Structure 1
Amino acid sequence: MAAPGNSAPWQALVKEKQERQKATIPPKWLIELPDTRTLDVTSIPETCGLLSARELEITRSNVEVLLPRLASGSWSAVEVTTAFYKRAIIAHQLTNCLTEIFVDKALARAAALDEHLKTTGKVVGPLHGLPVSLKDQINIEGIEASMGYVSWLGKYATKNSVLVDVLLELGAVPFVKTNIPQTLMWPETFNHIFGRTSNPHNRSLTSGGSSGGEGALIALRGSPLGVGSDIGGSVRIPSAFCGVYGLRPSYNRIPYGGCVNSMEGQDSVLSVLGPISNSVVGLKAFTQSVIEAQPWLKDPLALRKRWSPEEYDLIEHNNGKNLCFAILWNDRLTVPHPPIIRGLETTKKALIAAGHTVIDWVPHKHGEIYETLRAVWAAGAAEDYAVTTSPTGEPVISTMSPDPDVAGTEASFRPGKAGISAYQLWQTQKRKRELREEYLAHWQQTAGTTGTGRPVDAIISPAAAYAAPPHGKNKNADYTMIWNLLDYTTMVIPISKVDPTFDVKKPAHEFLSDRDQINYDLYDPVVFANAPISIQVVGRTLEEEAVLALGKIVDDAVKALSTKATGKM
């Protein structure tokens, strides 16, 4: 193709890439598409006729079912990869969730795994034969990682990212890459090359971002396990909006080396890689397997912290018995919409029914934490974006709205152009450290109110002030951003869906801030109908094992309550 930076207009480069992507889709996997007025497309993969009964059984299965069947050989890696590939292509046609499609490469990998199992009787690793989808920024040798930048088209990775090398050692089958917003720094998913990814539960709503392609793909069961990245909520927002499970680990627990990224060199609040799946077990399988592969031997920034069975058994949390959870009902700046409050209330009821204690979480300086994080990002972000887009002259996207008349008339999610001095950045980073110290002390002090003698075991928080909003309306990532600055391990768990019958709009309250009123005015239960309702389980720094275990306790409690319920949750 024409190299970026030549005289070809950026639009021509986009057209050429779109044609190349289209050519990678096997024609026999194309389906008859539903009318654009069909908003909920989650049933289409089951009814379109492309998947056989066996393929439907395979793709309905979660990681905990797939791995033992792959290990025993009752399902081959080739047939599992083919089934998920076909379903991924269906998902792509419905939501536009993929960027890179490499069927032959993935099937060759799966065939080699099948041959290994046949000849040795042993699996390659704990993820043997499992198809894994990857956010576009994660490098696979020989495949582009444009990350939504026209200027990066034609740049083929010369080697794998560290995580891909680890996944290959574990026996996984990387098989697709997924859509992102230009720059990654946006909680929705749209770029000039691949376009917009929509929410499969309601295509008039956003899938979230920046790992929005992963969220939509996994919600449609086009992948059993995916990997996204998260610097302000980019794993958790798509997980919450698309009704799947996601984990945001602490800095450097999962190797990040070899990925492309925005704002490289900004090392104060780090982006992290984290799994997205249709079960808590899927998150655990990824996290435990990757950590047990000792990634610190391949990535110098990866923490040398081994997987701890004792921490997963919750030895610091009374072995998982008689726990105390604290609910963050609001951050004193924005009151969540009625469906989100219902999700928190459901979780509280479920945990109490399971024998645990639930108290209220008192937020501590959340507004200052948000602004400190934004200041870190804004220090050089505008220049970073301008430098990256300059070779082709592509415009930096300033709005996610699909309405062309809105562009330039609404507040942008982008940082301003004015940077700050190195000294000023140091002061911001110093304040970040102080806020982390304060929040740790604030958490520790809860030991006097839990009744267990321990501080709160975990916080239950909204993942956002709303369920998935209409395209262009996701402008408040505060409820996820806070845990990035504090570096708390956090998991998203789906709870229910928006039902206009239950989730009616409430009378206006005394607004906490301007953003609170904006959020209140945004809510219309009919507009948000069928959007997933999710919550976050928040642990402390480097508590991956404990958060996975605590998240399973929460998930099991909510499912048990749902089973007992006679009506809708």
Structure 2
Amino acid sequence: MPETSWREIVAEKRLRQQATIPKDWVLLNLPPKEQLDVSNVPETCGLLSTKEIEITNSPVEVLLGNMANSVWSSVEVTTAFSKRAIIAHQLTNCLTEIFIERGRKRAEELDEHLKKTGNVVGPLHGKSVCYTNTLLPNNRQYKGLPMSLKDQINIKDIESTMGYVSWIGLYAKKNSVLADILESLGAVLYVKTNIPQTLMWPETFNHVFGRTSNPFNRSLTSGGSSGGEGALIALKGSPLGVGSDIGGSVRIPGAFNGVYGLRPSYGRIPYAGCVNSLEGQDSILSVLGPLSNSIGGIKSFVKGVVSQQPWLKDPLAVRKRWSEEEYQLIEHGSGEQLCFGILWDDEVIKPHPPIFRALQETKKALIEAGHKVIDWKPLKHGEIYTVARDIWGAGATEDYNVTSAPTGEPVIMSMSPEAEKIVANADTPSFRRPPDGISAYELWQVQKKKRDLRQEYVDYWQASVELTGTGRPVDAVISPSAPFVAPPHGLNTYANYTMIWNVLDYPALVIPVSKVDQTLDTKQSAHTFYGTEDQANYDLYEPETFKNAPISIQVVARTLEEEAVIAMSEIVDKALKEREYASRL
């Protein structure tokens, strides 16, 4: 197909998207491109009422409580978040599919059902998702909670282009399993969010919808591949969203946008019915995970989804109910004195000063809270990175080319602003093997090595019992989410700090800590570099470049310890907040 044809398809699609934005919600006073920090615009642009600002600033646990007690209706909450989502989109280009009227009708149905029956559609287990675990009347849990979804999660009669021109006009014939479950719990779906073409990028740009920027500094990336979700939730255009993560695609946007994000273990959250890249590659699986402005939102998502027995709807879903015992950290000393291992660097690339400061602050906060902290030395992280790239790259080039071939769109080779202007000679993304690829037998050897490395890491973690002084191995590892905060567009070239846990299949939860401080985060003297990548990363850092960028860390537990990693993350988050509060007194 001639180049002009795919461009014409994109132009028509963008016009259709624009037509779904309510005209009354189009901002006439958009900030100039030179204004990098737009995080306060939603509350100052004049579009939101005082009540709508209150609603959208509320965490999930407060929203659920107020809707359960009919303080706010589903329609009020859905309208407020829909308006704020449209504002966020105009500031960062974070949305793909917009179906607000459909969402509002769903909210009206839920309000009417509650009015007639006194109950809601799809209650959870009868316990509030609030930290207090108090009961709510009539088990009204997920009543009308607006939720955003990454573009690849199918919703009936909505497109899931995944950034491919060739998938424009393909409407989902039915919901994905997760969309069905969320609606059965009473969630209101109203927008889908932007991704990179192929998904296999830690940034967000595609030919169909363009680039998503970071709301705290629009010269920086929002991350990827769930970058639209990260930007939307950071601007509070959604209280709870769902991304996917094969190498960090939930946690990187979570970290770069200063929100919470969970990468669960393989199969804990159902994936069936979504579109994807590299389908058939099942050695390192992509997983779906939540992003939210509170850990309460993360907990409510996991607890709600597994309550619906997803293993009866998705053959790859793990048969594991929510375990309150695991959440109470019974196997971790009941949370009384935990021992955390801190991974200061992976011995490949040393993190920038803001990341190191966040790790130091986390260590101090945990010790002040009565917990133990030891150093966590990386075990063969470089080898694990190589294994991941070999597995993903075995068939990636062909996968991307086959998918893009029907319309002749170029496969994106770079996320830089300069490269996006030159698409005619584009190549495949960096996660790829040489053109000759590898044989099936060679791939089997790589997968065997991955299995052996996982065994070594299990043994290594278990052996830490000799170092902790608690009689248990390390309870969790605290790690950078990346060696930098959100970098400029096109420069997020290192996803290994998140990818490591995908290969090992360890659940990990990102926690925001602070923001870059020009005074505290000065450039340090050069260290002895591990290699050229490390030196390039050191050279990249200038405090002014990363101005106002959020700083985050991730808490990592062992396979299928979602309940425990949520509980331990609550402990870390609380310790950090208490330390910050004390420093202000």
Paired AA for residue 63 in structure 1: V
Pick from 195, 202, 213 the counterpart of residue 217 of structure 2.
202
Q: Which residue of 2 aligns with 1:549?
A: 567
Q: For 1:12-411, list aligned pairs within 5 A.
A: 12-31=8-27, 32-124=29-121, 125=123, 126-404=141-419
1:488 aligns with 2:509: no
Instruction: Please say if residues 479 and 555 of structure 2, whose CA atoms lie closer than 8 Å, have aligned partners that are also in contact.
Output: yes
* Residue 501 of structure 1: how far off its partner (Å): 1.1
Q: Distance in 2 between matches of 1:82 and 1:23?
A: 18
* 1:268 alignment partner AA: S
CA distance in 2, matches of 1:467, 1:257: 33
State the match for 1:463 in structure 2. 481
Shift of 1:414: 4.0
Letter in 2 for 1:81: T
Shift, 1:410, TM fit = 11
Aligned residues: 563
CA offset at residue 409 of structure 1? 11
Q: Deviations over 1:137-184 (max 9, x none)?
A: 000000000000000000000000000000011000011000000000
- The answer to whether the 8 A contact 1:41-1:202 is kept is yes
In 1, Cα distance between equivalents of 2:4 and 2:351: 47
Paired residues of 1:383 and 1:417 also in contact (CA < 8 A):
no
User: Where do 5+ consecutive residues of structure 2 fail to align?
Assistant: 124-140
**In structure 1, what is the equivalent of residue 134 of structure 2?**
none
Give the fraction of aligned pairs with identical amino acids, expressed as a percent: 66
More displaced stretch, 543-552 vs 69-78: 69-78
Q: Could you report, residue by residue, the CA deviation over 1:192-225 in whole angstroms, capped at 9, with x for unpaired residues?
A: 0100000000000000000000000000000000
How far 1:418 sits from its partner (Å)? Answer: 2.9
TM-score (norm 1): 0.97
Q: Are the counterparts in 1 of residues 397 and 428 from structure 2 also a CA contact under 8 Å?
A: no
Give the secondary structure class of the aligned counterpart of 2:569: helix
Amino acid corresponding to residue 413 of structure 1 in structure 2: S
Quote the Cα distance in structure 2 between the aligned partners of 1:181 and 1:301: 26
Describe the SS at the equivalent of 1:203: coil
Which aligned segments of 4 or more residues in structure 1 are displaced greater than 6 angstroms?
Answer: 5-8, 405-411
Letter of the structure 2 residue corresponding to residue 469 of structure 1: P
Cα deviation, 1:443-492, whole Å, max 9, x if unaligned, reads 00000000101000000000000000000000000100000000000000
1:498 aligns with 2:516: yes
Aligned to 2:430: 413
Query: What's the CA shift for 1:276?
Result: 0.1
Tell me the distance in 1 between the aligned counterparts of 2:419 and 2:162.
Answer: 23
Alignment CA distance shift 1:412-1:515 (3 Å) = farther
Give the Å deviation of 1:136. 0.0
Residue type at the aligned position of 1:35: P
| 1:104 Cα offset (Å) | 1.3
Partner of 1:518: 536
- 2:126 alignment counterpart: none
Mapped pair 1:423 → 2:419 = no
Q: Using the alignment, how far apart are the partners of 2:3 and 2:413 within structure 1?
A: 25
Contact persistence 1:76–1:114 (CA under 8 A) = yes
CA contact (8 A) 1:398 1:414 kept: no
Q: When the two structures are superposed, what TM-score results if normalisation uses the length of structure 2?
A: 0.95
Distance 1:233 1:354 in 2: 29
Superposed displacement of residue 529, structure 1: 0.8
Would you say the 8 A contact 1:322–1:355 is kept in 2? Answer: yes
Tell me the CA shift for residue 6 of structure 1: 9.6
Q: Distance in 1 between matches of 2:245 and 2:401?
A: 22
1:85 Cα deviation after fit: 0.2
